[in-house]
Every structure is written in C-alpha cells, then in structure tokens.
Structure 1
Amino acid sequence: MTHAVDVVVVGGGQAGLAAGYHLRRLGVGFAVLDAQAEPGGAWRHAWDSLHLFSPAAHSSLPGRPMPAQAGQEYPDARHVAEYLTDYERRYGLPVHRPVRVGAVRRDSARLRVETDAGTWSARAVVSATGTWWRPFVPAVPGREAFAGRQLHTVDYRRPADFAGQRVVVVGGGNSGAQIAADLAPAGIDLTWATLRPPRFLPDDIDGRALFDVATARRRALEAGRADTGGVASLGDVVAVPPVRAARDAGLLKAQPMFTRLTEDGVEWTDGTRAEADAVIWCTGFRPALAHLAPLGLCGARGRIPTDGTRAVGEPRLHLLGYGDWTGPASATLIGVGRPARDAAREIAALLGRSPASPDV
C-alpha cells in the first residue's frame, strides 16, 4: 500500500516535531514517521542522571514553552521526554509509529519513502533522524582483544551497574565529563581518558549563554564578518552542577588518551597500564543518514552538502537537527525552531504555497 502526502518527515524527536509544527502552520499536509514505539525521541534512552544545560524556559520548541520541573533548575531527560509527548499531542501532529524508514528514492516528480509499514509517496522529505542512533567508536588498537565490557554513551544508565568494577571512560566532551562525574562519587575505580586536557567552560555559562553565542556566530557569518568560533571557542565541557561538584572535589582527573587496549585494560605510550573491567566510549556520534543512501548525496565526513537545511543535490530534501551544518544550534531544543521554520517555508514555496508563518 502506498500513502500519498505532500511531505514526509523522517524522525519524531525534537527536530521532527518542530518541523511538523511549522508545516502545520503553513497548511502543508505531512506525515511524521518515527521508528520509536513511544514519543520522546532519544531522551527516553538517556542515562538516569542526565539533565539539560538550560532551565526549562530556555529549552522550548516553537509555540509551547517547556514547563519547569519541580525542584530542578535544569530539567532531567524524563521531563524532556514528557514535554515532547505533550507537545506532539497538543498540536495533533500526525506521527506514525513504530515505522522504520529503510530508504528514500527518487520517483519521477516525487520521492518514494520505503518503510517496514508500507510506502509513502511525497513531494518533499525532511530527514530529522538525528545522531543518537549512530554512535561512533574510534578504531583504537586492541579493541578486539579486550575481555571486559565495552559500551558507548547510548548504553550507559547508572553507576550501580558498575559496582565494584574498574571503569575507563573515554572522551573529553560533555558526555564523557558527565558520566565520569556520575561514576566517581559512587566509589567506582575510575580512569578518565581524553585526547587533550578537558576545557571546562566558565561556571556561569549554561545553555542560555551557549545559544546566544551560537546566534551571534550565525549573525556574524550572515553579515560577512569574521567567524567568531561560536561555542567551540569557549571550551568543551559545560560545568553543570554534578560536573562542577566532582571537579571541585578532585574526582575528575583526566589522563591522556591511551594508545591501545589489552586483554585486561588499557596501555599508554610509555608502557604504563591500567586494569579495567569496562570501557565506556563517550566518543560522539555520526549523522544517521543510511535511509538517504539511495539518493547518492553523501559528501565528506558522512554529511550531505546543504544550503541552509536544503540538500544541494536534491532540492526536495531538507535535513534538520544534525548539528550546525543544518542550522546553528539545530541539534538543541531551543535552536531547532528557526531552521525548522526556514525548512517549512522553503518546502511550502516548492509546493506553490507561501502563506506567512509567524515568527515564534
């Protein structure tokens, strides 16, 4: 069975919902296809102690402020998932789940979206699958020889799962710092390995300031001024309260990156070794774009070249929420609204519709 719609949005997380909100306001017919069984996107799969970098008021999707969480300045992942669930229902967004998209192909004047629940035929597609579903682990020598457990950020849940174990956390970004700060106070025998010494942002910097910095960078680039460097120029790790507490207690002492894994641990260039029962790779993600492979658009670093959110090689395709290359701060709750609005407006124009959409 083939379903015909104007637009298919692939992914029902925060980016997909923001796209749906703006498409609805423009009167464009669409369907959101989400591989997950429940609303909430990747937030339902995060570790137990994960909190946002920003207060609720600065972590909202367009049109609907996130309510504050009682007793929490920075909402936790469960609160975010509940907010996304409410957002989807509040606006009656047509989300179909669980529907897994296997491929998007050109089909004359339309795009054919093939799924495990039938085929959708669309005049345009918004890909909003994010990166959580494609974790990256570097090719460090000895990975196959290590006899302990190897996990990625996506697999980590709580310190109790590692009671009495020796754990190596790899990665000097926010995930690595937060997971190390989660484990260290629990008495875990922890080694935190990073490629370079961790760069903590000033303690008064949170998501509000980061969004302002990203916005200033976008405006500078649009005006033809010098690149300010954006958020990356400030540091790598936001000093959220648990990270700050562990750091100030002397529990976050980073070691240089080891050169290889051994059967029972890790080894550095000088021959120093540390035994380990588990290694947690907090080494980032890649965009989850396998469903777009039939279009032949992939460029350097696994990315599809874009002009704003529109794919350069396929004007009927927009990519949303994968990082700054698909809109400044577009991988954040507060940042995805603007590129989602712009994508919806371009799609409406492509379809021959151009009603004004309020700025929200």
Structure 2
Amino acid sequence: MPVHPLKPAARTHVTTVVVGAGQAGMSASYYLCQAGIDHVVLERHARFHAWKADRWDSFCLVTPNWQCKLPDYPYRGDDPTGFMLKDQIVDYVEGFCATFDAPLREGVTVTRVEKVGERFEVDTDRGLWSADHVIVASGGYDRPITPPFAGRLDPAIAQIHSKAYRRPSDIPDGTCLVVGTGQSGVQMMEDLWIAGRDVRLAVGPAPRSPRWYRGRDATDWLHALGYYAITIDQQPDPKSTEAKTNHYMSGRDGGHEIDLRRFARDGLRMYGSVADMEGTTIRFLPDLEANLDAADKSYLGIRQMIDDYIAKEGIDAPEEPPFEKVWRPETEEIEIDAAAEGITSILWCIGFRPNYDWLRVDCLDDRGRPIHRRGICAAEGVYFLGLGWLHTWGSGRFLGVAEDAEHVVRAIAERATIRRVGSG
C-alpha cells in the first residue's frame, strides 16, 4: 500500500469526486451543484488545460459554433456557422465556468482510486479524499502514440508529436514528414503547406467529410437528418465505431473540406502508411491509393446520406457536380532514404491513449477501455464522461457532453437517495 500524504483520519469525504476539469468534468460539476450534491473537482493542471496549452496556434473548431452547447450555456456569439479560434474557445469555456461556483482544486494529481469498504479512497499528491462516487473525466489524450520502430530512426532526424506542435517555426529547417491523416494530421500538414514549408504526408486510413454540400454545411445536414442522435448501441458494430478516427475537414478561414488528391496534384508528395524505420530508411505500406479511396468512400457516403434526406423531405436544394478524382498515384514509393530526401523531422499525428494506471477498480476491458453504459459502470459508484461515443457522436465534444453529464449526475442523485432511504 502506498504511503498517503495525509493520515487516514485527516481525509476529506465528499459524496462525489470528479477527476478532470475539462468540459466534461466542469459540466458534471455544474449539474452536481444544481442537484445540491457535495463534490470536488480535482485537476492536475489548470482547468481547460488542453484548450489553453495543448493546441497549435492556428487551431480552430472543426464543427460549427452552434454545436457548442455546454450546460445552459449555448454559443451566444454572432457567428453560429463559423468556427471559433483557440482563444475564443477558451473565452467560451471560461464564460461557462463563470455561471456557477465550482468546488475546483487545481494542481492536484490523482494517484490512486480504490474501493475500500463502501467508499472510494482517492489518493492525490495533495492529500487523501474519500467519496461515494467517482466521475472519471480525465479524457483520452494522456499518452501520445508513437510506434515502437520510431526508436530505431536516426537520432539526427527530429521527432515531434502533434501534442507538442504549435507553429511551423517549431519544425526544423528541411523537409518534414507528417505521419497520420486524422483531423490533426491533415490540419498540421496544411499549416506547414500554407507557411511554404517543404512537407510530405504519410496517408493513413482516416475517413473524410464534405464541408459545404448542397447549400449547407454538411454538419447541419447531418444534424437535421438525425445522425448526431444515433447512439452507440444503435451502431452495427459498437466496438468498431468507438475505435474509428474522426472524419477530416477544416474550420480554418471559414471552413473547407480537405481533398488530399488536390494537394498531391499541386505538388504534395504522399506515401502510404509508415511500416518501419531503421537508421535513415523509412518504409511504407503500398496502401496510399487504397487509403485515398477509403477516405473518398466515406466522403461520398455522407453526400449520399444528405442526397437521400433531401429527396425524402422534398427539400429544394442546389445540385452539386459529381465528385472527381483529380489525382491518383501512378506508382507508390515503399522505401525512401530520409537523409537523401532531405527529411529532417517527423511529425507524429497518430493519436493518443488514455492513462488509467491510477484507477484500481475493475471497470476496464482487456483493451484498457472503460466498460460502461452511457458513462455508468457496472462497478457501482464509477462513471466516465467526455469520451468519444460514450453515448452518441457528440459525447466527446461540446455538442453532447452536457446531456451525458446530466444523465450521470441524475444516476448519482438516484443512488444517493436510495442509499439514504436504505440507511434510514
């Protein structure tokens, strides 16, 4: 057993401990305050640290501002169809926090959560708490992913993870190979491209989305046809859905779609998925065209969903020209010498993993993912918030986090009532 900073007798008990003060944790706090449930929010950094410190300079929302729906605090600006920049997002979340008095403790790192008897012990670097309920709202972006073979790359080639990228000047002179085509990867590639940097792209299997289609933003159409209300339980393969990469597009400069074929046509050199590295040799899978085709398939699938909805509802909407592949690879390079190609840096954009090492409760599956139903675990008293597809597509975003937080807090209030009745 670890040695606690405070003696057990000095522990502080609250009904609920919330771990994490991002939009999920603070939404939970809002509803806990409304319900009159005593609680504390423990945050290892400062609230909304990820928005303030872990985003690049040109970062903006990919979804339009109208989808920002924190509890009783929808977007109230004058550009609902625009895309807030990083500083505007911080202003928005801080404005939400100003609407209530959260019992927040910043600079407190949770090191252990364990069920002892009927209560949870929550050990931190600032003391020991106990609670009847624990809400885990720490997010899924703790551990940046790099493949094992990255360690075999020539150390003269700099390796930067997307979490550390802020601006093109962070990247060493020379050619940068961006690895990964999720939302961060394509936007960081574009950031470097706009800055006139020599950049190349290793293309993974991420899907892409239209931005503006048949007179409206594609996300507006998807909301209207009910896509965002579909729950994880309604998906044909929930586990596969949870693991999917987000569709890539951009909110930059008013929003636009990203067709990597157009970049290639204009001179961007692209490869397939990175398969291995050794010294200055980088190897790729011969899947570039397959990955581009897969991205286009998802893009066309969304267009078809919108077309079907327009036809079904008899909506008068402008027609769009058919999609054209403006470029395709004649051959695929499967091995390059980075030194000979002038590649001086790798920008890894292949995702993150959560860190639940401190959570000593039987609530994770063999992949380390939480076992829950809309954030409520079978392990009584443990809850999760803020994860992608916790309940719907919007669960990990401003769109759906409030509804999930309200649902979890309602469950806590009901259990607290049952416990009081039972003890009475």
Query: Considering the TM-score relative to the shorter chain, is it more than 0.5?
Result: yes
d(CA) in 1 for partners of 2:115 and 2:57?
A: 41
What letter corresponds to residue 255 of structure 1 in structure 2? Y
Tell me: CA distance 1:306–1:49, structure 2 relative to 1, closer, same or farther (3 Å).
Answer: same
Asked if the contact 2:232–2:392 (Cα under 8 Å) also holds between the matched residues in 1, the reply is no
Corresponding residue number in structure 2 for 1:180: 189
d(CA) in 1 for partners of 2:40 and 2:354?
A: 22
Out of 83, 86, 91, the position equivalent to 1:77 is 86
d(CA) in 2 for partners of 1:104 and 1:252?
A: 48
Tell me: CA distance 1:175–1:118, structure 2 relative to 1, closer, same or farther (3 Å).
Answer: same
* Matched-pair identity in %: 27
Shift of 1:101: 0.6
Q: Does 1:280 align with 2:347?
A: yes
Q: Does 1:260 align with 2:276?
A: yes
d(CA) in 1 for partners of 2:181 and 2:44?
A: 30
Corresponding residue number in structure 2 for 1:331: 396
Q: Secondary structure of 1:272's match?
A: strand
Q: Does 1:42 align with 2:55?
A: no
Tell me: CA distance 1:297–1:251, structure 2 relative to 1, closer, same or farther (3 Å).
Answer: farther
Shift of 1:13: 0.4
d(CA) in 2 for partners of 1:71 and 1:62?
A: 17
Structure 2: gaps (5+ residues): 1-9, 286-333, 420-424
What letter corresponds to residue 353 of structure 2 in structure 1? R
Out of 397, 408, 417, the position equivalent to 1:343 is 408
Cα deviation digits, residues 158-195 of structure 1 (max 9, x gap): 01222632111111211111110111121211111023
Tell me: CA distance 1:68–1:92, structure 2 relative to 1, closer, same or farther (3 Å).
Answer: same
* Equivalent residues, number: 347
Asked if the contact 1:327–1:336 (Cα under 8 Å) also holds between the matched residues in 2, the reply is no
Q: Secondary structure of 1:172's match?
A: coil
Cα deviation digits, residues 241-290 of structure 1 (max 9, x gap): 46647855636553212332243463346433344211111111122322
Out of 141, 153, 170, the position equivalent to 1:132 is 141
Corresponding residue number in structure 1 for 2:335: 271
Tell me: CA distance 1:111–1:158, structure 2 relative to 1, closer, same or farther (3 Å).
Answer: same
What letter corresponds to residue 248 of structure 2 in structure 1? V
Asked if the contact 2:178–2:201 (Cα under 8 Å) also holds between the matched residues in 1, the reply is yes
Out of 197, 208, 231, the position equivalent to 1:200 is 208
Asked if the contact 1:9–1:31 (Cα under 8 Å) also holds between the matched residues in 2, the reply is yes
Cα deviation digits, residues 63-98 of structure 1 (max 9, x gap): 112343789920012221222222223211111111
TM-score (norm 2): 0.73
Corresponding residue number in structure 2 for 1:114: 123
Structure 1: gaps (5+ residues): 355-360
What letter corresponds to residue 267 of structure 1 in structure 2? R
Cα deviation digits, residues 180-238 of structure 1 (max 9, x gap): 01111212111110234x643112255555666653422882xxx86799799997312
What letter corresponds to residue 352 of structure 2 in structure 1? F
Tell me: CA distance 1:169–1:304, structure 2 relative to 1, closer, same or farther (3 Å).
Answer: same
Deviates further, 163-172 or 92-101: 163-172
Out of 369, 372, 386, the position equivalent to 1:303 is 369
d(CA) in 2 for partners of 1:64 and 1:172?
A: 33
Corresponding residue number in structure 2 for 1:357: none
Asked if the contact 2:390–2:396 (Cα under 8 Å) also holds between the matched residues in 1, the reply is no
d(CA) in 2 for partners of 1:94 and 1:282?
A: 35
Asked if the contact 2:232–2:391 (Cα under 8 Å) also holds between the matched residues in 1, the reply is no
d(CA) in 2 for partners of 1:13 and 1:332?
A: 11
Corresponding residue number in structure 2 for 1:237: 248
d(CA) in 2 for partners of 1:73 and 1:322?
A: 24
Deviates further, 342-351 or 318-327: 318-327
Tell me: CA distance 1:119–1:326, structure 2 relative to 1, closer, same or farther (3 Å).
Answer: farther
Q: Secondary structure of 2:194's match?
A: helix
Q: Secondary structure of 2:277's match?
A: strand
d(CA) in 2 for partners of 1:274 and 1:144?
A: 10
Corresponding residue number in structure 2 for 1:95: 104
d(CA) in 2 for partners of 1:236 and 1:79?
A: 23
- Bigger Rg over Cα: 2
Shift of 1:297: 3.0
Tell me: CA distance 1:297–1:226, structure 2 relative to 1, closer, same or farther (3 Å).
Answer: closer
Asked if the contact 1:53–1:207 (Cα under 8 Å) also holds between the matched residues in 2, the reply is no
Q: Does 1:14 align with 2:80?
A: no
d(CA) in 1 for partners of 2:337 and 2:219?
A: 38
